[in-house]
């Protein structure tokens, strides 16, 4: 069958057959593939998350369908990772336009599969529908030994992240404005983001609180602070050097890129100072990093950042769907 | 706050706050609400399903937002029920247009909540996004003592359903054509369908195979037959009397309504003849019915229906997204 065909040529039945031909279930699965539901034997702490990716709001120019698949799965793995969970299975609910080509669909599914191979866990089932634009709702189900809440940060804890910030916002800016001469790492942050799935499991043993930074660093810090009833002092902002250079060249505000951007899949967490070295070492074993950015302070002190020699309050803003 | 406001007036943050104010988690939940994921302690057979409801294809004229919420949850509960699972929790992933009013949103959430109260299980979290049309992806997570596959029907088993067919297709026809003078039960089948959640758990103790009929009775029978490697002889087609009357009055084909309609949330199942009376009695305790419609025959005999004194082969057709 030629790949230039579209979904309305093969119909839903044909599409479901294609999807089923690409699904292989593991031994823990109780039902065969293609049944009404997915079923497994499970014992322990079950962690579930779902994220929707919508073409008109989440897919910038230059992002192909393989990237869309990769990103959809990454979003949900990042949520699981922030709670210390290892992905076990995924369900993929799709809304697709009838004019989508099979080539586009296969590329999309390639992206999902590559991500699942990278992060672990089985794409086990889902649902297909016709819609006016591409909508991917990805469900991730994972298992955790210890589930890390957003609410456990204690005054005196170290505030840290798994990476530097600013790349996604810079990369998105470059894609939206069609800037060609841009460092690969910035584009990659948008088109092939990595969830910190290995780091999450390690952090779960030590972290007092954890959140993923997909809504932006500022929003993540405000959420952790609110849920934990504490404040933060960010003394060493985690500025990505390449993003900074891009910002300076193109007249963008570095602070904005770092704190108020979004779609950055780092983990933001707090740990006791005594655990700092142990966590650093454990993270190094998976090529991960602990970047200390500040400390937990009493709620009354709010959230402040040392920037250019000044101490400034951090606003709670980032990407907001719906807002004008 | 006035309800005539729209989502873009309150923004995603405001919407998430509204949703969180309507969520109450139970004691098995390990994480507080509004965290990156939902987490529970679990042991046993975990059954997961996801279904997407898309405004442009799944919402007929006359269906209000409360019905949309009700139906979205019903779809996923029906899947769980067909596998013998009791719903534990739901995650709701939303794509919503920025022009949606708060009144519409609250009505939608009312529908979700009413359905969850009816079927059991907690609405525990989800995800909000902007989209060009209303897209609801509902994840249902349930627990089963025995998971009933599609694949266990044996030659000689009784073929049965939990209800009669034709109401949804007739009701949809009435709504699409704006027919006013129509029996309430037909409209109700479209606007407030019921999942057979009580029946599913009872059937799980006895059924050799089970499927929900949301893709239509013919498709459901073909799926059960294929997965089980058997054929079916439908000797007593489960024709709903009111739907039949509607069809006759409006010149519609009764056979089409009963077998080739869809969105009918009955369970279609097979059981050993020896269990027939026990199941009837158990179903009666929850005001459920077992409607015997035929029997399981060898694969070579295919799927046939006795209709108007003739034995006719049943085609595998029903609603197909994408198809022209």
Q: Chain A contacts of B56, Cβ < 8 Å?
A: 130-132
User: First vs last Cα of chain A: how many Å apart?
Assistant: 45
All structural domains of chain B, each given as residue ranges with its CATH number in brackets, are 7-144 (3.30.1330.10), 158-313 (3.90.650.10)
Q: How far is B49 from chain A (nearest CA, A)?
A: 5
What pLDDT score was predicted for residue A318?
83
* Position A131 confidence tier, pLDDT thresholds 50, 70, 90: very high
Q: Chain B contacts of A127, Cβ < 8 Å?
A: 50-52, 137
Q: Chain A contacts of B212, Cβ < 8 Å?
A: 36
Q: Chain A contacts of B48, Cβ < 8 Å?
A: 37-39, 89, 91, 124, 139, 141
Per-residue pLDDT tens for A63-75? 999 999 999 999 9
**pLDDT tens digits in sequence order for chain B, 324 residues long:** 455 799 989 988 889 999 999 999 988 899 999 899 999 999 999 999 999 999 999 999 889 999 999 999 999 999 999 999 999 999 999 999 999 999 999 999 999 999 999 999 999 998 999 999 999 999 999 999 999 999 999 999 999 999 999 999 999 999 999 998 999 999 999 999 999 999 999 999 999 999 999 999 999 999 999 999 999 999 999 999 999 999 999 999 999 999 999 889 999 999 999 999 999 999 999 999 999 999 999 999 999 999 999 999 999 988 766 765
* Position A2 confidence tier, pLDDT thresholds 50, 70, 90: low
What pLDDT score was predicted for residue A203?
98
| Percent of chain A surpassing pLDDT 70 | 98
Nearest to A212 among B30, B36, B320 (CB): B36
Best to test chain A binding among B14, B28, B39 (most A CBs inside 10 Å): B39
Q: How far is B116 from chain A (nearest CA, A)?
A: 18
Alpha-carbon distance A126 to A91, whole Å? 5
Q: Could B37 and A151 be called an inter-chain contact, meaning their C-beta atoms sit closer than 8 Å?
A: no
What pLDDT score was predicted for residue B256?
95
What pLDDT score was predicted for residue B90?
97
Beta-strand relationship, B85-96 and B122-130: parallel
Q: Could A131 and B133 be called an inter-chain contact, meaning their C-beta atoms sit closer than 8 Å?
A: yes
Q: Which strand ranges, in their side-by-side order, compose the sheet holding B209-212?
A: B209-212, B267-271, B158-161, B291-298, B230-234, B303-307, B310-313
Q: Could B130 and A32 be called an inter-chain contact, meaning their C-beta atoms sit closer than 8 Å?
A: no
Q: Chain A contacts of B80, Cβ < 8 Å?
A: 37
Number of cross-chain residue pairs from A and B with Cβ atoms under 8 Å apart: 247
Q: Chain A contacts of B57, Cβ < 8 Å?
A: 129-131
Q: Could B41 and A44 be called an inter-chain contact, meaning their C-beta atoms sit closer than 8 Å?
A: yes
Q: How far is A211 from chain B (nearest CA, A)?
A: 7
Question: CA B264, A124, A97, B16 torsion: positive or negative?
Answer: positive
What pLDDT score was predicted for residue A13?
87
pLDDT, mean of residues A111-136 = 95
Could you give the C-alpha distances from A102 to A19, A99, A136, B3, B103, in angstroms and in order? 11, 9, 16, 43, 39
Nearest to B324 among A8, A83, A135 (CB): A8
Question: CA B33, B39, B43, B47 torsion: positive or negative?
Answer: positive
Q: Could B131 and A130 be called an inter-chain contact, meaning their C-beta atoms sit closer than 8 Å?
A: no
Nearest to B31 among A40, A147, A320 (CB): A147
Closest chain B residue to the Cα of A35, Cα to Cα: B150
SS (H, E, C) B106-158: HHHHHHHHHHHHHHCCEEEEEEEEECCCCEEEEEEEEEECCCCCCCCCCCCCE
Nearest to B137 among A8, A137, A323 (CB): A137
Q: Chain B contacts of A124, Cβ < 8 Å?
A: 48
Could you give the C-alpha distances from B27 to B77, B113, B164, B203, in angstroms and in order? 22, 19, 39, 29
Alpha-carbon dihedral angle through residues B116, B124, B8, A92, given to the nearest 10 degrees: -90
What pLDDT score was predicted for residue A28?
85
pLDDT, mean of residues A50-60 = 93
Nearest to A149 among B35, B40, B91 (CB): B35
Alpha-carbon dihedral angle through residues A125, A128, A131, A136, given to the nearest 10 degrees: 10
Q: Could A52 and B79 be called an inter-chain contact, meaning their C-beta atoms sit closer than 8 Å?
A: no
What pLDDT score was predicted for residue B266?
98
Q: How far is A309 from chain B (nearest CA, A)?
A: 32
Place of tokens 């509902």: B138
Query: What ipTM did this prediction achieve?
Result: 0.92
Q: Chain B contacts of A132, Cβ < 8 Å?
A: 56, 132-133
Structural Rg of chain A based on CA atoms: 21
Q: Could B83 and A131 be called an inter-chain contact, meaning their C-beta atoms sit closer than 8 Å?
A: no
Q: How many angstroms from the chain centroid is the CA of residue A178? A: 24
Per-residue pLDDT tens for A147-196? 999 999 999 999 999 999 999 999 999 999 999 899 999 999 999 999 99
Given a cut of 70, whether residue A1 has pLDDT beyond it is no
| Percent of chain A surpassing pLDDT 90 | 88
Q: Chain B contacts of A47, Cβ < 8 Å?
A: 37-39
Alpha-carbon distance A141 to B140, whole Å? 12
């Amino acid at each position: 069958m030629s790949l230039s065909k579209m979904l309305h040529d093969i119909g839903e039945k044909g599409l479901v057959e294609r999807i089923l031909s690409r699904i292989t279930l593991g031994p823990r699965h109780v039902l065969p593939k293609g049944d009404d539901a997915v079923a497994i034997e499970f014992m322990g702490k079950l962690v579930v998350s779902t994220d929707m990716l919508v073409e008109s709001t989440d897919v910038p120019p230059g992002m192909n369908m393989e990237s869309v698949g990769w990103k959809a799965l990454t979003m949900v793995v990042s949520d699981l990772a922030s709670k210390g969970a290892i992905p076990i299975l995924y369900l993929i609910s799709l809304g697709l336009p009838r004019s989508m080509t099979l080539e586009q669909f296969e590329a999309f599914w390639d992206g999902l599969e590559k991500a699942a191979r990278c992060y672990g866990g089985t794409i086990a089932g889902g649902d297909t529908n016709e819609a006016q634009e591409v909508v991917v709702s990805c469900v991730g189900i994972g298992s955790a030994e210890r589930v890390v809440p957003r609410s456990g940060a204690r005054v005196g804890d170290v505030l840290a992240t798994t990476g530097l910030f600013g790349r996604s916002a810079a990369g998105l800016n470059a894609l939206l404005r069609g800037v060609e001469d841009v460092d690969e790492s910035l584009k990659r942050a948008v088109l092939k983001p990595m969830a910190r799935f290995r780091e999450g499991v390690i952090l779960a043993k030590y972290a007092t609180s954890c959140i993923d930074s997909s809504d932006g660093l500022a929003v993540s810090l405000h959420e952790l602070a609110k849920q934990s009833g504490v404040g933060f002092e960010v003394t060493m902002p985690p500025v990505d050097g390449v993003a900074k250079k891009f910002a300076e060249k193109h007249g963008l505000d570095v602070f904005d890129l770092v704190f108020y951007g979004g779609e950055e899949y780092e983990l933001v967490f707090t740990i006791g100072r005594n655990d700092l070295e142990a966590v650093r070492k454990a993270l190094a074993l998976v090529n991960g990093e602990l970047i200390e950015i500040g400390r937990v302070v009493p709620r009354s002190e709010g959230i402040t950042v040392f920037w250019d020699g000044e101490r400034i309050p951090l606003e709670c803003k980032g990407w907001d769907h719906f807002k004008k």
